[in-house]
């Protein structure tokens, strides 16, 4: 089983396209497997005759596990050196995306499966997903994530036609046919697995530090209430939008919290794209990004916020919206717990948590009085920033929320 990305640990065989005795050529698609990110073709990395299928349809095979064996030309039976492209396409646009990350070496890469004389290095062409230049360009224009587009048939490259059909499906899905998902966005059944992998990786790899503070929300809550009383339903605000805007503005002065940790180093992001952790009704969560959140007027940001939350909950998000976030905000909303200690979503380097707004005793002008307050926490990557910077960042958010009309 080839590794199709750093987050993948195993996949389920969904179809065999060859049987023992079949002749295969390097590059043939021999099977399809289902991963958390969708169904992916498995290409064979050498030529020969299939001897044995080691995994049956429905079997979950760990990365590096044996899928099948084949007899290479003039050689004894060898494990099938099947490799498939990473599910994540290379970046299309200027906006940074998480990279597929390094692929751990696996036994199937070694030994007789390699053609004689071939270097033991990874074959990037074999791993690469076949996408035509025209398809790449069109996908970038349409904002279609190529990972959500499949070829007309296994083994073919993704063409501009495939991209345009995917775009039509996506457009149809957001319109009259909500039942048809536009992309292979992770569904509820595999959502848990995706979260499990990402969070395991996060806890395994990222040295988190945590800082927290309590923020008075009287002004912010009153601002929203007044605004909403004065505006029709289509123009109303949600406290969450204020929080996102405050985070985004505070990030302008905290670049070490905004970006990605990749290949052993921090890549700061010029764009501030705030992911909003959105709980799904059937369990799990998604964090669609609000792009350039620091630069959008609050009403616009609110509309966009409402839009992505709605679409996240109705499975209409585009993959790009999930991949674009440079930081994440996790807000518990009303009626929830007071404090959350969130875990960073790799390859991001920080996540901000907001608890529920609650009424608590608060010292105002030397006297204790009831006030609306909220706990803000920051989990950040210690490889990139230190607690002191994190603390300053939270205090900046606090200051911004005290003057909500300026957001």
In the list 309, 376, 378, 384, the residue contacting another protein (rule: CB under 8 A) is 309
The reply on whether position 388 binds another protein by CB under 8 A is no
Single residue of 20, 104, 107, 333 touching another protein by CB under 8 A: 333
Q: Which is nearer to another protein, 229 or 367 (CB)?
A: 229
* Nearer CB in complex with another protein: 57/285: 285
Q: Are strands 327-331 and 274-276 parallel, antiparallel or unpaired?
A: parallel
Which of 178, 207, 361, 370 is close enough to bind another protein by CB under 8 A? 178
Among 192, 282, 295, 382, binds another protein (CB under 8 A): 282
- Smallest distance from another protein to CB 234, Å: 6
DSSP tally for the chain: helices H, then strands E: 9, 20
Stretch in the footprint of another protein (CB under 8 A) among 36-44, 263-271, 303-311, 387-395: 303-311
Q: Pick from 219, 238, 360, 389 the residue near another protein by CB under 8 A.
A: 238
Binding part of the chain for another protein, among 10-18, 71-79, 246-254, 312-320 by CB under 8 A, reads: 312-320
- φ, ψ of residue 221 to 5 degrees: the values are -65, -45
Cβ closer to another protein: 214 or 228? 228
Element (H, E) at 127: helix 124-127
Size of the chain, expressed as the number of residues it contains = 407
For 125, other C-beta atoms within 10 Å of its C-beta total 9
The CB-of-187 to another protein minimum distance in angstroms stands at 10
Query: 224 Cβ partners below 8 Å, 6+ apart?
Result: 237, 238, 239, 242, 404
Phi, psi of 204 (to 5 degrees): -75, -40
- Local structure of 37: helix, strand or coil: coil
- CA-CA distance, 169 to 385, in Å (whole number)? 42
Q: How far is CA 234 from CA 133, 238, 332, in A?
A: 41, 12, 23
Cβ neighbors of 158 (< 8 A, separation 6 or more) are 129, 130, 131, 132, 135, 146, 149, 150, 151
Which residues between 126 and 145 bind another protein (CB under 8 A)?
A: 132-137
CB atoms under 10 Å from CB of 363, counted, come to: 10
> Rule CB under 8 A: which of 214-233 touch another protein?
225, 228-229, 232-233
Distance CA 117, CA 134 (A): 35
Question: Is residue 165 a contact point for another protein (CB under 8 A)?
Answer: no
Q: Which stretch binds another protein (CB under 8 A): 24-32, 164-172, 247-255, 273-281?
A: 273-281
Task: Report how far residue 394's alpha carbon sits from residue 352's, in angstroms, rounded to the nearest whole number.
Answer: 9
Q: Does 26 bind another protein (CB under 8 A)?
A: no
- Kindly tell me the sign of the dihedral angle through the C-alpha atoms of 248, 95, 380, 340: positive
Nearer to another protein, 204 or 281 (CB): 281
Per CB under 8 A, the list member of 236, 262, 360, 389 interacting with another protein is 236
Does position 285 interact with another protein (CB under 8 A)? The reply is: no
For residue 207, what are the contacts with CB-CB under 8 A and spacing of at least 6?
Answer: 381, 382, 383
Binding test (CB under 8 A) with another protein, winner from 88, 159, 218, 294? 159
Nearest-approach distance from CB 17 to another protein, in angstroms = 15
Q: Does 403 bind another protein (CB under 8 A)?
A: no
Whose Cβ is closer to another protein: residue 76's or residue 179's? 179
**Residue 233 Rama label (left phi>0; alpha psi -120 to 50; beta):** alpha
* Interface positions with another protein (CB under 8 A): 132-137, 151-153, 155-157, 159-161, 178-179, 225, 228-229, 232-234, 236, 238, 240, 279-282, 306, 309-310, 313-315, 333-334
């Amino acid at each position: 089983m080839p590794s199709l990305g750093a987050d993948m640990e195993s996949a389920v065989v969904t179809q065999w396209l060859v049987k023992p005795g079949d002749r295969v050529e390097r590059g043939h698609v021999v099977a399809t497997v289902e991963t958390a990110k969708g169904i992916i073709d498995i290409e064979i990395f050498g030529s020969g005759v299939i001897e044995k299928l080691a995994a049956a349809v429905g079997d979950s095979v760990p990365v590096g596990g044996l899928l099948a064996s084949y007899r290479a030309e003039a050689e004894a039976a060898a494990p099938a050196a099947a490799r498939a492209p990473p599910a994540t396409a290379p970046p299309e646009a200027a906006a940074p995306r998480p990279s597929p990350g390094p692929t751990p070496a696996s036994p199937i890469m070694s030994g007789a499966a390699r053609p004689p004389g071939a270097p033991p290095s990874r074959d990037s062409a074999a791993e690469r997903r076949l996408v035509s230049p025209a398809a790449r360009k069109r996908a970038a224009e349409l904002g279609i994530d190529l990972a959500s587009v499949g070829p007309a048939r296994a083994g073919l490259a993704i063409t501009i036609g495939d991209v345009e059909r995917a775009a039509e499906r996506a457009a149809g899905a957001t319109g009259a046919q909500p039942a048809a998902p536009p992309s292979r966005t992770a569904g509820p059944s595999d959502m848990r697995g995706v979260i499990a992998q990402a969070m395991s990786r996060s806890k395994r790899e990222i040295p988190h530090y945590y800082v927290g503070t309590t923020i008075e929300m009287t002004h912010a809550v009153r601002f929203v209430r007044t605004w909403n009383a004065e505006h029709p339903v289509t123009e109303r605000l949600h406290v969450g939008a204020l929080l996102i805007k405050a985070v985004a503005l505070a990030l302008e002065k905290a670049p070490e919290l905004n970006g990605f940790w990749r290949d052993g180093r921090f890549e700061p992001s010029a764009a501030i794209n705030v992911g909003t952790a959105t709980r799904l009704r059937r369990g799990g969560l998604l964090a669609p990004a609000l792009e350039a959140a620091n630069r959008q007027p609050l009403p616009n940001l609110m509309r966009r916020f409402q839009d992505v939350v709605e679409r996240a909950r109705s499975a209409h998000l585009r993959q790009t919206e999930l991949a674009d976030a440079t930081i994440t905000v996790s807000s518990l909303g009303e009626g929830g717990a007071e404090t959350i200690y969130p875990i960073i979503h790799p390859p991001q380097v920080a996540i901000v948590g907001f608890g529920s707004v609650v009424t608590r005793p608060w010292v105002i002008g030397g006297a204790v009085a009831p006030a609306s307050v909220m706990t803000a926490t920051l989990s950040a990557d210690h490889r990139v920033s230190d607690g002191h910077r994190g603390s300053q960042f939270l205090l900046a958010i606090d200051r911004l929320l005290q003057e909500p009309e300026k957001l």
